[in-house]
Structure 1
Amino acid sequence: MTLPANETIVRRKLADEVFDRLKAMIVSGERSPGETLPSERELMTRFGVGRPAIREAMQALASLGLVTINHGERARVREITAMAAIRQVDVVAQLLLSTSPESLEHLKEARSFFERGMVRRAAEVATAEDVAALRAILEDQRSVAGDAGEFVRIDMSFHNQIAKITGNPIYSAVSEMMLGWLQEYHAHMLIWQGKSERTLSEHAAVIERIEAHDPEGAEKLMSGHLERSNHLYSHNHEGEAAG
Structure 2
Amino acid sequence: MTKLLLPQQSPVRRRKIYEEIVDRLEVMMLDGTLSPGDVLPAERELMESFQVGRSSIREALFALQRMGLISIRNGERAYVTKPSADAVVNELGGVVKHLLARPEGARDLQRARAMHEVSLARYAARHATEEDLQALKAALDANREAMGNVTAFTRTDVQFHLVLAKIPNNSIFTSLHSALAAWLSEQRTTSLQVAGADEAAYEAHEAIYRAISSRDPDAAERAMQGHLEEVGAYYWHGRGKESGDK
Alignment TM-score, normalising by the size of structure 1:
0.87
Identity %: 38
Query: Structure 1 residues 94 and 236, CA, compared in 2 at 3 Å: closer, same or farther?
Result: farther
Other-structure match for 1:92 = 95
1:35 equivalent to 2:43? Answer no
Query: Structure 1 residues 200 and 52, CA, compared in 2 at 3 Å: closer, same or farther?
Result: closer
Query: SS of 1:106's equivalent?
Result: helix
TM-superposition CA deviations, 1:120-160 (whole Å, max 9, x none): 01111100000000110111111111211110121121112
Aligned Cα root-mean-square deviation (Å): 2.3
TM-superposition CA deviations, 1:57-101 (whole Å, max 9, x none): 112212222222223321122221112211110122112212x11
Alignment TM-score, normalising by the size of structure 2:
0.86
Query: SS of 2:239's equivalent?
Result: coil
TM-superposed CA distance for 1:110, in Å, is: 1.5
| Equivalent pair of 1:44/1:54 in contact (CA under 8 Å) | yes
| Equivalent pair of 2:139/2:156 in contact (CA under 8 Å) | yes
One-letter code aligned to 1:108: Q
Query: Structure 1 residues 222 and 8, CA, compared in 2 at 3 Å: closer, same or farther?
Result: closer
| Equivalent pair of 1:37/1:75 in contact (CA under 8 Å) | yes
Other-structure match for 2:244 = none
Other-structure match for 2:200 = 198
Query: Structure 1 residues 197 and 6, CA, compared in 2 at 3 Å: closer, same or farther?
Result: closer
Following superposition, which runs of at least 4 residues in structure 1 exceed 4 angstroms of deviation?
3-10
For residues 12-161 of structure 1, the aligned pairs below 5 Å read 12-98=15-101, 100-161=102-163
| Equivalent pair of 1:25/1:31 in contact (CA under 8 Å) | yes
Aligned residues, how many? 237
Unaligned runs of 5+ in 2: 242-246
Distance in 1, matches of 2:56 and 2:184, equals 38
Distance in 1, matches of 2:237 and 2:100, equals 9
Distance in 1, matches of 2:9 and 2:31, equals 34
| Equivalent pair of 1:101/1:235 in contact (CA under 8 Å) | no
1:166 equivalent to 2:168? Answer yes
Higher relative contact order, structure no. (Cα contacts within 8 Å, ≥ 6 residues apart): 1
Query: SS of 1:167's equivalent?
Result: coil
